[in-house]
Structure 1
């Protein structure tokens, strides 16, 4: 899939604000790929497409989980978790996008996971820090990653903040996110 088709696809489906967010994530992913020697083209494509299913109705997402034989545990979660894996499955099966690195980056852009590829890391971080994000503490995360602290330490910090936020809200935390947090916690004695 080429970049112009991907942009056209999301522009037709997403609300204007989410479309613009996706383009900013793609731009941020390119910057990070250049800084950390990732594949800028793949990171950009994943950044463009990552929220393609963000506003799909929940029943449709659940059907996709079953149809594409995704992790059945996803059926216990809402669209915040589902839209990444469902989007990757739709891109693969309906749009014939077969680049595993791009698909993994789309699938895990919200949850992270253990042993992410470089481009998964880049898109995960880019989605969190794109220029219009105003999440409390986002400037610290931007300083970390642009200051050269590294992708892995930045992923740990994002995962930690995400888990703490979800716990405070009494929301179930997807196991993959906890696994990501633990995997990238280099302070833990392993």
Structure 2
């Protein structure tokens, strides 16, 4: 469910998100982030899912955020390490996830930030906030 509407194009996802949050600018940070917030709103609209924890987990699964709940961390990390993903470091995060969820989340955020900064693209502030929060609370 967290990837509901992911196949939609960037323009369509941007238009849908603008209906729900006219002032939100996820598209400036890359089209891949858009499906999270859109899916969260459409799960409410299309399926009547009103649970706030589910809403937040779906909404933030592409960016993370500070103070993620356990459920949010699980969905965020599951998306990062899903079996279809093949990029440098994903295997290590998968192994880490078996031992320490918080450290795996921290490593996934660090890896994401490193990857995006190496490409000189904008990093969503929520991702930076999530990383900083995980560093503060790391065991």
Contact 1:61 1:86 in 2 (8 A): yes
Give me the whole-angstrom Cα distance separating, in 1, the residues matched to 2:32 and 2:71.
Answer: 21
Cα RMSD (Å): 1.9
Greater Rg over alpha carbons, structure? 1
Give me the whole-angstrom Cα distance separating, in 2, the residues matched to 1:59 and 1:124.
Answer: 24
1:1-190 matches, within 5 Å, as: 49-69=1-21, 72-146=24-98, 148=99, 150-186=100-136
Q: Deviations over 1:102-127 (max 9, x none)?
A: 12111111111101111110011111
Displacement, 1:154?
1.3
Q: If the length of structure 1 is used for normalisation, what is the TM-score?
A: 0.66
Displacement, 1:76?
2.2
- What is the aligned length? 138
Cα 1:70–1:84 change in 2 (3 A) is: farther
Give me the whole-angstrom Cα distance separating, in 1, the residues matched to 2:29 and 2:126.
Answer: 12
Displacement, 1:176?
0.3
Give me the whole-angstrom Cα distance separating, in 2, the residues matched to 1:163 and 1:142.
Answer: 18
Cα 1:137–1:65 change in 2 (3 A) is: same
Consecutive unaligned residues of structure 1, counting only runs of 5 or more, are: 1-48
Q: If the length of structure 2 is used for normalisation, what is the TM-score?
A: 0.89
Consecutive unaligned residues of structure 2, counting only runs of 5 or more, are: none
Q: Which aligned segments of 4 or more residues in structure 1 are displaced greater than 6 angstroms?
A: none
